[in-house]
Structure 1
Amino acid sequence: MSDALLSDLAADVGEQVMVVRQPIFDRGKSVWGYELLSSPPPQGHSEQVAALEDLISFQKEKLSSLGIEFSTDKKLLLNMSGYNHLNSYDFSGYLGDIVFGFSNTAASSEHGSFFVSNMHEQGGSVAIDNDLDESVFDSLMDKCDIVKVSLEGKMPSDIVNIRRKLKNYEGKLLATDVSSWEAFEGTRALGFKIFQGSFFSLPLIEEDAGLQVASVSKLQLIRELNNPGCDMEELASIIASDVSLSYRILKYINSVAFGLKREIKSIQQAVALLGLNELKHWATVVVMTDLDSTPKGEELAYMALQRGRFLSQLAGTIEQCQLAPETMFMLGLFSKLDALLSYPMDKALDGIALDEAIKAGLCGERNEYGNCLRMLEAVETGKWEVANAILKRYGFSVPKAATQYLQASSWAARQLPSMKSQ
């Protein structure tokens, strides 16, 4: 494929197709790999890519723009359904970080069976769906490294029965559509090795458990930073009182991601240059990204930043949207506060100076802010019709919003490294 054609494809994806990175976690809640979820292309645009190597390069390029650089310790799960390049012979370049996933249509084809057999012989990795036709599944099971089991629409007893049927399978079991921490723990107890779904973005709240000491102090910082009565002198004092926060704010403000032309050497200088509200804003962002330092927390911080940026860009683009971009950024940013703290949202928001309507939306009320969050959740889980229905209220659509979504994803990926303490 020529560079020009690949560039056209990238522009096509950036402008018309939403691309969402979905993490896959292992049993210890570390990131095992990623899969790209893409919205359907508009009518008249093909989903086909000319050759397998171009498809892989294309997906890796998108993931790179979303902050993911692959090596053998992070996998790319590549869904082969719908692609017509299963007659490849040379897999030598794909044996380290690519896992080829097959659904019913691709796996049932003659090319699909040939592809799986050749990949297996050369030491590559293949994943197949448990829901394949029984004869196809039986013929491929011994040649694949991963069996995917979707939890969607299944009762716990169904998953137990599936696990029983696969008791002699020696590869990894991947639970997909895991939508709660209970489902994660249940499939984990059944011996599943890797997990994909929205569970990680939900708060993991243990009964009668309070906030950890470190989280209490950080939440108090967020409250103080968003206090309308906080003046420049007090803001400088608040930030300077926390050595780690001071370091990370200065590191971020002086980073390439922030884009200032001269070095800022003190919090007082930052206040004078950026202004009170601007520094409050970015100090809040820096504190939010430091609430959970686990791999799960890093994914949540990325989501919070990406959501905030995307909503603020939409607010600045859609004429029918009367919500201020700054307000929409904070809505997206705070939408993962409960998950980052493992604490109920209503309690986490207590004492934070946000508009009551925003707080209500964050706590699940179906107001205008809550609808924006439901649109985000629909995008992140591939419920494109739901996302479109909400966007249409503002005269917008998923294809029209795709550019802002990819830009927001790329922006969030660039910001995070500059905000870390190390």
Structure 2
Amino acid sequence: MDKAFVGRQPIFTPAQEVYGYELLFRSSETSAADFRDGDHATATVLMSAFTDIGLQTLVNDKRAFINTTRNLLVDGTLSCLPQDRMVLEVLEDVDPEPEILHALRELRETGYTIALDDFVYRPELEPLVELADLIKIEFPAIANEDLAEHVSRLREHGVKTILAEKVETQEDFELCRDIGCDLFQGYFFSKPQVISRGKMQSNVAAVIRLVSELQDPNITPTDVEAIIQMDANLSYRLLRFVNSAAAGTTRKIGSLRQATALMGIHRLRSLASMLILTGLDEKKPKELINLAMTRAKTCELLANSSDSAHPERFYTVGLFSVLDAMLDQPMEDVLESLPLETEINDALLDQSGPMGEILRSVLNYETGTASQSTIGFTTVADAYQQSLRWLSESGQTL
């Protein structure tokens, strides 16, 4: 099974308490970054952090620092991220051109914290300095005797938070602390730690269709829900993202309808763009996905026939009934990372409650033990066959 990897390096206060973590691209368990495309690297880190590993697991209640590129800043891809959890680091190769300044101004007005990475003061960078909440000075690139003046000049421009990065010794730390730096990062405190977890790839056809449909200015969250529910992997990643973005919330998500409404069209567009950037491929268990969609539709049809007030919840149960096989994890572990209602969890774990009863009837039909179900064999068979036809006619069969 594929794995997601994220490097994590803590950022400390003068009292050496953790302030936040910088999240870094990693392609393996080793602590080395190996990438050529900065856009892809940033998107991969974000999707791994929010959907595969979970932001809460990586940073708990601290801030997450993430490198950004010119393209991601200008095209609005980052707007799906939660403003109160992220610090957007503008890389040193991003110039203060009008498009960048406009994008940063909008992000800052929206509530994002803007940082300048690997910064060495030059007069031509002052337009960026004026928009920055935090500046990471590249400690080794500045002569020790010039550090105090460097910090003083940034303070004159209104910079409230200065972070000394690449601090490697006790002497480095004490020097940067004494000249007034507010935060510190480097090997003296901690080398990046690589966090990994099983990774699921979404159906690239479903993601592309979602991106295409989201270009319609009149599309509604209900329309988006109809697209997303056609792919179990994509549904899972959306719910994981919503849960990570609102880490610590007591709100429980009972269906894709709630998740899409909570995200809103604008943020869904940026999330879909992020998914495309992560280089989704066709490596997926096709039969499992077909099975998930067939179960989902069958559960929904059976719920409709029993006059359930929320048939979309039954669809969710059927869709997620194969997640343990897709992720190669026990269902208990999978559900711990999803903000689902208790009734849905019970249905998936114990096949209890009304949703669990219908799921059990569908599973019994598949295994030829429908006589053990409380729902009649003919009723389940008709719904299952109707679902297979729906899957074929919708063009989603893989």
TM-score (norm 2): 0.40
